[in-house]
Amino acid sequence: MATIGILGGGQLARMLALAGAPLGHRFLVVDTAEDACAAQVAPLLRADWRDFDTLEQFARRIDVATFDFENVPAATAEWLTAHTHVFPNPIALATAQDRYAEKSLFREIGLGTPDFAAVDSEDDLRAAATSLGFPCVLKTRRLGYDGKGQCILRGTADIAPAWAAIGGVPLILEAFVPFDSEVSVIAVRSRTGEFRHYPLTRNWHRGGILSASLAPLGGAGALEAQAVVHARVLAERLDYVGVFALELFVVDGKLLVNEMAPRVHNSGHWTIEGTPCSQFENHVRAVLGQPLGDTTARACSVMLNWIGELPDAGPVLAEAGGHWHDYGKAPRPGRKVGHATLCADRPGMLRDVLVRVARALGREAECAPVIAALDAG
């Protein structure tokens, strides 16, 4: 039995603890918030990320430390390495925290990305926009997720307002990608070097936040093989340990890498019911150096994110393949408060289940593109 420390106490930490408990492991969570939802299932230490007295107590009580979100300061992760094992390593964490460093690494190891440029001033922004062309997307290099810290520039008139909105910090300007679809690959690498991946997953977003995920994708063998090569090369380069996600754009049958998430990922939640060994259990196994579990899909699955507030669970639970996850978080606009996963043996069966659930919950418009994808096979 081992004790795993998790920096960050959100729903990802909560699901890690729930996945690791049947293996006999214990968990200790550190978070800055008293109401962190992982405290429902594991002991919580409340501390600032630079409260090294509390972090020293944390390190003494655990066998290994990991993360449930990527914005823990890299300096904190580096400090922890002198006191306990830390996975993923601080270099991987620091790289994923800076969008420019991340995309520069992707380019260095041969992964295709949208064109991009560093922006440190309004003059830089004007020059980069001229070079990349419109539309383009201005993003903060650090922090920002779920659509935060971003502005779309459609012409020169948008430059000054965008700079006023998010300027003054290091930025990156990226060419706009007219993608055919958005996909992700969830991969896992163990302390022993063992590597596995989950089926390629198609994703839909609303307001910059993941709305739905569908897996596995029929006829996506070539794309999946390409995505897995990308993930393996990146994991080896970073000496990565644990689960991570690569978010990708599909453009004319090829992949462009958007970003990496150095943790278990929202688009992998379907693996809890849809595979023999979920991304959460495999992360626990990986950071402890245990053999990795089976990542093959045992069903067709769609995950629906609940944002802001939970709908009625009844229509989901009425389905034989319906699974409900309430994170125990207070409702708030833009906040991820839960998800549901619908599973069926075949795409046509899953389509019928999703149609019934969407109609019952009044979410026909939100689910329409997923239903269309299932219709298309």
CATH superfamily of domain region 181-376? ATP-grasp fold, B domain (3.30.470.20)
Amino acid at 137: V
Summarize pLDDT for 267-295 with one digit per residue, the tens. 999 999 999 999 999 999 999 999 999 99
Summarize pLDDT for 6-39 with one digit per residue, the tens. 999 999 999 999 999 999 999 999 999 988 999 9
Average pLDDT value for residue range 209-222 = 92
Q: In the predicted model, is pLDDT for residue 207 greater than 60?
A: yes
Domain residues of the chain, as ranges? 3-86, 115-175, 181-376
CA atoms within 13 A on the CB side of 267: 28
Q: Average model confidence (pLDDT) for the chain?
A: 95
**Domain range 115-175, CATH class:** alpha beta
The residues, ordered by sequence, that sit 6+ positions from 246 with a Cβ below 8 Å of its Cβ are 184, 185, 187, 227, 230, 231, 234, 257, 259, 260
DSSP states along 93-139: HHHHH-HHHHHHHHHHTT-----EEEE-SHHHHHHHHHHH-SSEEEE
How far is Cα 30 from Cα 69, in angstroms, rounded to an integer? 12
Average pLDDT value for residue range 225-246 = 97
Q: In the predicted model, is pLDDT for residue 148 greater than 90?
A: no
Summarize pLDDT for 345-358 with one digit per residue, the tens. 999 999 999 999 99
Q: In the predicted model, is pLDDT for residue 147 greater than 70?
A: no
Summarize pLDDT for 60-106 with one digit per residue, the tens. 999 999 999 888 888 899 999 999 999 999 999 999 999 999 999 99
248 or 377, which is more confident? 248
Given this model, what pLDDT does residue 31 score? 96
Average pLDDT value for residue range 348-369 = 97
Average pLDDT value for residue range 110-115 = 95
Q: In the predicted model, is pLDDT for residue 331 greater than 70?
A: yes
Question: What's domain 3-86's architecture?
Answer: 3-Layer(aba) Sandwich (3.40)
